[in-house]
Copies of this chain bind each other. A is one copy, B any other.
């Protein structure tokens, strides 16, 4: 049975992990007979967004503590992630991937990945274990590899241009589909970069989970 690390970035599309994508990732891992453990960095969120108004509030919240809501408390700090314990890693999207796990939302093509996360993902890459990236999370991929890795964030030209500048090979992709780079063992899917419904997000995430588990053979 494959065991997968799922890395969350908070709880809520505008300042954390996209909730539907996160739950669908766990659901599809279970449906495909894999087990998982959720992780999140024990750091403060970039900011807190009121999800009714879309405006920043003056609160401060911790990424790990908020992500624990999605994981029903069953979560560990990213510092506890041991690559040897897992067959693969999956990162759901949401702005948390571009605000808390990286600064892509603000820095675009000059974005950097949270050093602690980059270190952990580099170990998965060195161990030739597969990585799955959902929604905007694939924008981190060029910062993790020296080679030009194929990936998708859907169809958005501006975002794709930033990724090309960073050294990635962006491939346009429908919401139901995935892009697989077999050499790098990297899978990506657009999910809510394009999805108009939970069902649309689910279809791509189901395929991503399948491809990640297959690459972990």
Contacts and interface: CB of A to CB of B under 8 A. Distances in A.
Interface residues of A, number: 34
A20 B23 contact: yes
A198 B11 contact: no
B73 A54 contact: yes
Nearest to A31: B199
A14 interface: yes
Interface in A47-96: 50-52, 54, 59, 64-66, 68-73, 75
Contact of A52 (B16, B23, B68, B199): B68
A69 B202 CA distance: 18
A27 B198 contact: yes
Nearest to A20: B23
A160 interface: no
Pick the 3 closest A-B CB pairs, nearest first: A12-B69, A51-B68, A23-B23
